[in-house]
């Protein structure tokens, strides 16, 4: 959420940002919120004047009564009554104006970084760099669920009966591979200086509205019926929520945390043939990283975070590339975002396995995460990034390590988490 003072003083910049994000339908909101804010400040000033007048007149009434000047005192009492009625009107008006202003301010997107490429959607994202050589083997690579079934590693039919589409049972070596990757990613991030955390898997509505836009919430979040609780779509939500309404010492920053959690998502809409199986599902597990830092440090942390994901995938011998997200592909709270995509030998293209975001002070402003330092009091900056999210990692892993005989090689870095096996042997 932007600062209303910033919007007042920079309407052209806010409108240009809307155009860069292809949200021209919101342009009128900028002028509207500025007018509403002016009206609100006028109402607040008049109300403050009336309160001051009431205090002053009350003292005068007491003095007049002491002097026996009853008529003059009664006249002032009538004035106090009129002022009180007007004050009640103004206070009610202030509440309505504040609600409308907040609604609009929550709708206006964050100001994107000048380095962000301008584009309408993810088709305009810009490739930055490739890491590792993408290989297409001389044998056919089956669809990922077909590979898993050779190991008796997945049961979609039973999951469909139990929970519906978008769920699965992982079994045997495939389930162990899933958990092994999560454990490896956890230790990998701890070794890089991050504090490990297991957060709540449900959050209240005030945290939801603090960490994401309404449109994102509608598309992602599952609401717990009858309670003010939502299932998390990613542990970033509860990890950032951990700092709600806090004042941090600048000297204590940064706070760098890595967290494990299950994730629950509606995943609305049709996603195409390549998203069958376990690519896009309603429940999965993930290792995440978040940083709360001083504003001047967030660009450096942004670079560190996405590089952590690249390094993790390369340590498991999976080729990846990075994509700079264009303006139209950025969620409203994001200042800058970098996607990490893994190579799919079967499709002979890259697909998304992680996303790194710098949100500036947007989440901190909504959640009141403040910092006190030599420069006074200000809002922190927050960042997040996916360490690894099986089962998408499983797709990349199985395709890139599948051998012609159907076995799957285990990279040396992961072997301690897989019973020191160098390969998995199919059962079928």
Residue range 54-73: mean pLDDT, rounded: 73
Do both 314 and 221 map to the same domain?
A: yes
Of 326, 330, 339, 335, nearest to 386 (Cα)?
339
Q: What is the pLDDT of residues 47-60, one digit of tens each?
A: 988 888 877 887 77
- Which residues, including other chains, have CB under 8 Å from residue 355's CB and lie 6 or more apart? 325, 337, 338, 339, 340, 385, 386
Whether the bond into 391 is cis, omega within 30 of 0 = yes
How many helices (H) and strands (E) in the chain?
13, 18
Taking residue 128's Cβ as centre, other Cβ atoms within 10 Å add up to 12
* Predicted pLDDT at 216: 77
| DSSP per residue, 109-169 | PPPPPTTSPP-SSGGG-EEEEEES-----SSPPPPHHHHHHHTT-EEHHHHHHHH-TT--E
β-bridge partners, 382: 292
The answer, yes or no, to whether residue 115 has pLDDT greater than 80, is yes
Do both 72 and 9 map to the same domain?
A: yes
β-pairing, 369-373 vs 246-249, is parallel
β-bridge partners, 342: 320, 351
* Predicted pLDDT at 80: 78
Do both 35 and 158 map to the same domain?
A: no
Q: What is the pLDDT of residues 276-331, one digit of tens each?
A: 678 888 999 999 999 999 999 999 999 999 999 999 999 999 999 999 999 999 99
β-bridge partners, 372: 249, 377
Q: Which residues of 59-95 are buried (b: 16+ CB within 10 A; e: fewer)?
A: eebeebeeeeeeeebeebeeebeebeeebeebeebbe
Inter-CA distances, 369 with 214, 219, 380, 419, Å: 20, 26, 6, 43
Q: Tokens 């599952």, residue?
A: 222
Least confident of 40-54, 145-159, 320-334: 40-54
Range of the domain at 66: 4-107
Residue ending a domain, among 74, 107, 140, is 107
Residue ending a domain, among 76, 107, 138, is 107
Do both 39 and 164 map to the same domain?
A: no
Q: What is the pLDDT of residues 235-269, one digit of tens each?
A: 999 999 999 999 999 999 999 999 999 999 987 65
Contact 66, 147 (CB under 8 A): no
Whether 113 maps to a domain, the answer reads no
- Which residues, including other chains, have CB under 8 Å from residue 377's CB and lie 6 or more apart? 247, 370, 371
Q: How confident is the model at residue 272 (pLDDT cuts 50, 70, 90)?
A: very low
Do both 55 and 126 map to the same domain?
A: no
Do both 90 and 174 map to the same domain?
A: no
Question: CATH number for the domain including 173?
Answer: 3.30.930.10
DSSP code for 425:
-
Do both 194 and 103 map to the same domain?
A: no
Do both 102 and 129 map to the same domain?
A: no
Whether 42 maps to a domain, the answer reads yes
- More reliable by pLDDT, 319 or 78: 319
The answer, yes or no, to whether residue 67 has pLDDT greater than 80, is no
* Predicted pLDDT at 66: 66
Whether 143 maps to a domain, the answer reads yes
Q: What is the pLDDT of residues 176-189, one digit of tens each?
A: 999 999 999 999 99
Do both 305 and 416 map to the same domain?
A: yes
Whether 116 maps to a domain, the answer reads no
Taking residue 174's Cβ as centre, other Cβ atoms within 10 Å add up to 26
- Report how many domains make up the chain: 2
Do both 352 and 409 map to the same domain?
A: yes
Residue ending a domain, among 107, 142, 162, is 107
Question: CATH number for the domain including 60?
Answer: 1.10.287.40
């Amino acid at each position: 959420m932007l600062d209303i003072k910033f919007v007042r003083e920079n309407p052209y910049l806010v409108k240009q940002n809307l155009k860069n994000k292809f949200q021209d339908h919101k342009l009128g909101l900028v002028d509207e919120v500025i007018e509403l804010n002016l009206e609100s400040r006028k109402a607040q000033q008049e109300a403050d004047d009336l309160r001051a007048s009431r205090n002053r007149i009350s003292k005068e009434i007491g003095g007049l009564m002491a002097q026996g000047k009853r008529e003059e005192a009664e006249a002032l009492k009538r004035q106090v009554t009129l002022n009180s009625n007007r004050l009640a009107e103004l206070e009610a008006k202030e509440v309505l104006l504040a609600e409308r202003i907040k609604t609009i301010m929550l709708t206006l997107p964050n100001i994107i970084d000048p380095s962000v490429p301008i584009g309408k959607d993810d088709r305009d994202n810009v490739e930055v760099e490739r890491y590792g050589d993408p290989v297409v083997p001389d044998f056919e690579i089956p669809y990922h669920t077909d590979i898993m079934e050779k190991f008796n590693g997945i049961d979609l039919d039973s999951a469909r009966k139990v929970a519906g589409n978008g769920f699965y049972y992982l079994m045997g070596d495939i389930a162990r591979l899933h958990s092994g990757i999560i454990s490896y990613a956890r230790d990998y991030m701890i070794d890089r200086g991050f504090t490990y955390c297991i957060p709540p898997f449900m959050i209240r509505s005030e945290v939801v509205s603090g960490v994401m836009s309404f449109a994102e919430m509608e598309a992602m979040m599952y609401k717990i019926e009858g309670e003010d609780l939502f299932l998390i779509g990613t542990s970033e939500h509860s990890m950032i929520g951990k700092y709600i309404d806090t004042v941090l010492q600048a000297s204590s920053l940064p706070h760098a945390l890595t967290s494990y959690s299950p994730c629950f998502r509606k995943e609305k809409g049709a996603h195409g043939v390549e998203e069958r199986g376990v690519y896009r599902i309603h429940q999965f597990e993930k290792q995440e990283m978040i940083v709360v830092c001083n504003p001047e440090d967030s660009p450096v942390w942004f670079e560190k975070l996405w590089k952590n994901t690249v390094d993790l995938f390369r340590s498991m011998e999976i080729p990846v590339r990075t994509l700079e997200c264009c303006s139209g592909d950025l969620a409203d709270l994001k200042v800058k975002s970098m996607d990490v995509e893994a190579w799919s030998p079967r499709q002979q293209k890259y697909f998304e396995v992680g996303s790194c975001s710098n949100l500036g002070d947007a989440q901190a402003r909504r959640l009141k995460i403040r910092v006190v330092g030599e420069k006074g009091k200000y809002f922190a900056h927050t960042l997040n990034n996916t360490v690894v999210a099986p089962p998408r990692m499983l797709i990349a892993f199985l395709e890139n390590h599948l051998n012609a005989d159907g076995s799957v090689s285990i990279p040396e870095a992961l072997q301690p988490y897989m019973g020191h096996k160098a390969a998995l042997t199919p059962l079928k």
